[in-house]
Amino acid sequence: MTLSFEVLGRFNRARAARLTLPHHVCQTPLFMPVGTKGAIKGLTTPQLEEIGCQIILGNTYHLELHPTSLLIDELGGLHKFMNWPRAMLTDSGGFQMVSLLHLADITEQGVTFQSPVDGTPMLLTPEESIEIQNRIGADIIMALDDVVKTTTTGPRVEEAMHRTLRWIDRCISAHKRPKEQNLFGIVQGGLDPILRDICVKGLVERDLPGYAIGGLAGGESKDAFWRVVSQCTAALPENKPRYVMGVGYPLDIVVCSALGADMYDCVYPTRTARFGTALIPEGVLKLKHNAMATDTRSIDPSCMCMVCKKYTRAYIHSLVTKDAMGSQLVSYHNLHFMMNLSRSLHSSILEGRFPEFVCKFLQTMFPEGDVPGWVCDAMEVAGIDISSCCNSSSKNRPTTNGIISEEYKLQKDRKEVEVIEDPSTCCFDC
């Protein structure tokens, strides 16, 4: 094991920690941008350092297709290949069982993909996944798990959970660089608390460097989402990092951090940027909206990023969806926003003012006190009093599967600014 995890401060279940990895000393909670093929679209590695990125992600499946792990290894590993001096995490390729299900055949041996480029079959076994990741050289590598869509029910969920436990042993046996790379296991089990409990206990018995909570952010209700996170974080070891996979909405990250999670990743900040949507404390700003055409304010007047210091909403409005520079500027701002959120979570826990931070965050996003019921429930379990920023009807708002109803959105009468509460299925930035 080449990882240390030291909890520096707590508020109930929330914790601020120092995560020391071979290439960087990180502060948690932290958000990790996704660079599927060894690049964050539109941004250079110096820019990522400038805005405070600590760990970035690569994807085993896509990197093996091109440029191949053999070439990456030959050229000194992914850090050197992409000129990134800080920490990296590679996913195992397991998520592609869901995102590329029409191209995948899953058996006990592994998963056989048909290349989306030329149809060539590629067998990804637990051993092969680890071998590829050993060649790529990331600080954290993920075990290959059997992933099913979140909303799947029935025997397939149990089959996938038990297979995930069998595969973790094969991953551990195949791991040839345990003194240089840290293997994380992934908790599966769908929305079934009994299956999740079995998987957590099985993984903890293996005493891994860290643990991820997988199989979420794929269309389940928000109520189901937070309850799974809460169950898993409560059962995972106190002295190991906890990573909730595929989560990138600021509200979700605040809630999960209150419940004791440490690490998050998602393509959302950069993907939504390419559609002209900027992250702001109130929610999101639709820069394609006509109201932006003559708006001389910055994206977020409270933001200190390079984009907000130098460019107006009107200028970026003229670029988004028409010029690559538009998506680059909004991507820069959005990732700066996520890094600032991570820093604020860390410092507020460390300084004993986490409840105040949470209340201010919610008051800014929900100025009318209409905090979603699922957030109220999660914060109650987390021991955070948010009564000062909730009205009496918060738990009774009209919702559909955790998504605010269109009728309620119309009542809000927000034009260019919108609160987004439920992510669509998060996948790698292909």
CA-based nearest residue to 21, from 141, 199, 146: 141
Residue 323 is classified by DSSP as S
Neighbours of 406 (CB within 10 A): 10
Question: Whole-angstrom Cα distance, residue 342 to residue 28?
Answer: 7
Neighbours of 166 (CB within 10 A): 12
Identify whether the C-beta of residue 272 lies closer than 8 Å to the C-beta of residue 257. Answer: no
Catalytic residues: 91, 265
Question: Whole-angstrom Cα distance, residue 267 to residue 306?
Answer: 21
For residue 369 the two structure tokens come to 């006190």
Question: Whole-angstrom Cα distance, residue 150 to residue 81?
Answer: 35
Q: Which residues of 28-47 are buried (b: 16+ CB within 10 A; e: fewer)?
A: bbbbbbbbbbbbbbbbebeb
The maximal CA–CA distance of the chain, rounded, in angstroms, is: 61
CA-based nearest residue to 223, from 376, 58, 45, 349: 376
What element of type H or E holds 400?
strand 399-400
Q: Where are the beta strands (DSSP E) in 64-187?
A: 87-91, 104-106, 111-114, 121-124, 140-142, 182-187
Residue 34 is classified by DSSP as B
For residue 347 the two structure tokens come to 């410092």
Q: Where are the beta strands (DSSP E) in 236-303?
A: 242-244, 263-266, 277-280, 283-286
Question: Whole-angstrom Cα distance, residue 329 to residue 140?
Answer: 29
Neighbours of 219 (CB within 10 A): 15
Q: Compute the chain's Rg from CA coordinates.
A: 21
